[in-house]
Amino acid sequence: MILAHDMRTAADTLLGTLTGEQHAAAARPFDDSDRRWIEYRPEPRPGLSLADLGVAARKAAHRLLATALSPPAYAQAMAVIALEEVLDLREGWRRGRHSEDYRVIVFGTPGADRWGWRFEGHHLSVSMTVADDVVSPAPVFLGANPARVDTAGRVVLRPLAAEEDLGRELLLAMTPAARGRAVVADEAPYDIRSGTAPMAGTIPPAGIHRADLRPGERALLDQLVALYLGRLPDELAAAYVDTLGSDVHFAWEGPPGPGSRHYYRIQADDLLIEYDNTTDDGNHAHTVLRRPRGDFGDDVLAAHHASAAHTL
């Protein structure tokens, strides 16, 4: 309830700062066809660009984003946004990437029985849906290109370090037999397997089951799951942990060492976590938290419709 109130307040504040033309770009009906959408590549996307906003409106958009993320995840998101300028420099300024090339969009009326919003751009996509004051998160995508910037052999910036390092630590902690079950392919896929699909529930579980890991390995897997759920505010993360259960699979693709293409995913009943380092030098990372039964608010909307039907 508190989080839903904070999101409503932040969304109202944002919409209240906009001109009529800006409002038309930022506000859509809840049932708009663009609501169920994820796009983390540098492609055209709906919504109002931060580049078209004044300082107050940009700050309001960032405050809305911050309601959906824990403080560490918000810091990661700001690093992801800043990396657009670094990537543009590395590419010789050819593609005109910039740190204001992110769009915000509100679906429905904040505070209504059903509404939602999205903040999205290259390597960042955060969607939230609210029904009857219950917040449903996902998809939540964070990427980084470059994934690592060094100087004198030391790290300057590495926004997704924990996601990469803990996944590899888990794999290397396994016995050879367990690792052989966890590694399901010698080569990593081109990208995260869920991609930009509006539904994430078609990927079969693979790899090794949590129950088949030793206690220390299970603890590492639990830490890795908690790391991704920790992207969410405490209220959402705690509620989700309570429903997760122990039916969890971990799968790895590609070589185990750093500096090359590699991929892992974690799956449970209503959980899909994917990590992919997508270039040959292992310096372009994609990560996503999705919910096969809860993406784009499917869970809270089903409960809302069931409640409405019950009262008829």
Q: Which residues lie below 8 Å from residue 293, measured CB to CB, with a gap of 6+?
A: 201, 269, 270, 299
pLDDT attached to residue 263: 98
pLDDT average, residue stretch 175-200: 95
pLDDT tens for 184-193 read 999 999 999 9
Q: Is residue 308's pLDDT more than 70? A: no
User: pTM for the complete prediction?
Assistant: 0.96
Query: For 101-146, what is each residue's pLDDT tens digit?
Result: 999 999 999 999 999 999 999 999 999 999 999 999 999 999 999 9
Query: How far is residue 140's CA from residue 164's CA, in Å, rounded to a whole number?
Result: 17
Query: Distance between CA 254 and CA 277 in Å, rounded?
Result: 10
Average pLDDT score over residue span 88-98? 96
Domain layout of the chain by residue ranges: 2-145, 160-297
Q: Could you tell me which of 96, 126, 133, 100 has the C-alpha nearest to residue 6?
A: 133
- Angle at CA of residue 269, ends 266 and 275, nearest 5°: 20
pLDDT of res. 224: 97
The band of 245, judged by pLDDT with boundaries at 50, 70 and 90, is confident
Angle ∠(150,156,157) on CA atoms, nearest 5: 105
